[in-house]
Amino acid sequence: MEWDDLKYVLATARAGSFLGAAHLLKVTHTTVGRRIKALERDLGQPLFKRTRDGVEVTDLGRRILPTAEDIENQIRQIVLASEAETAEPEGHVRVHTAAWIIEYLLIPELPKFHEQFPKVQVFFFIDVVDAVADSTAAALSLRFDVMAKRSEVESRVADIPFSLYKMRGADDAHLKWATTHGANVALQTAGWLEGQGVPPEDVSLFASDASSLRRAIETGRYKGLVPDYLAGQSGNLVRVNKGPPDLIRRLRSITPRRSLAQPEVQAVLSWLTDTVRNSPAALR
């Protein structure tokens, strides 16, 4: 298997169809289908399940995608390094994501980014699920539960462990439930609560960001799921359940296709991916 094969796998998974992948790769849909079939024949297993509406990724495909995305990011960095010799990226890029990711993971590493790309301005926008409103802006987002649209490109950034926390010394049996809330988006945290048998009416507090949720838990009146790394920054929170994390959430980058080719967006995207993936917040 070569990188050229992986490009077809990534494009098909992101587009959800051979026709969509052909649009991304600027080839015909028959070329995409032929390349995927040849690769599946070599592997001896299907990578995609054909459906009426397009394709779905199989278990083998899901195992291959993270490696393919890692290779894609490494190639992106090589391209950036070569382009830096001739054309230095410049301009402003909007980054939409959760407040705790901006405050704890990105801002501490921002000076290193600006040492390498001094002409790129980074605009941080705190939101969890809202789409990028300004269609003319160079923008991207880091999100947990929002999937990319056909006009966007999605890549895995990191897996982040979450656990159920309470205030040290508090009796969790008498604490009220608190959770993050995504308006019209079904969040994994809500699904986890449902799996624990917690009805929606038993949730007393909703917050759009884990930082607010952590502060609520620190009052000693609530319990809820927060990132293990963020809880560790408090010193006052303890896990309710022992063992492995209660929930692993996948953080993805979502970038409009119209922005992806811009050098400043490529520079920010590579920096974001490397920074979060190598941070203590990410699952090793």
pLDDT in tens, 145-177: 877 777 788 888 999 999 999 999 999 999 999
Asked if 254 and 141 count as a contact pair (C-beta separation under 8 A), the reply is yes
What are the DSSP E strand ranges found in the chain? Answer: 48-50, 55-57, 91-97, 120-126, 139-143, 152-167, 176-180, 203-207, 222-227, 237-239, 247-256
> 184 pLDDT exceeds 70?
no
Domains and CATH numbers, the chain: 3-68 (1.10.10.10), 79-151+257-277 (3.40.190.10), 160-248 (3.40.190.290)
**Residue range 93-108, pLDDT digits in tens:** 999 999 999 999 999 9
214-224: average pLDDT: 96
| Residue 185 per-residue DSSP state | S
CA dihedral 111→140→248→282, nearest 10 degrees, is: -20
What percentage of the chain carries pLDDT values higher than 90?
49
Which pair of structure tokens corresponds to residue 110? Answer: 């921002």
Tell me the pLDDT band of 133, cut-offs 50, 70 and 90: very low
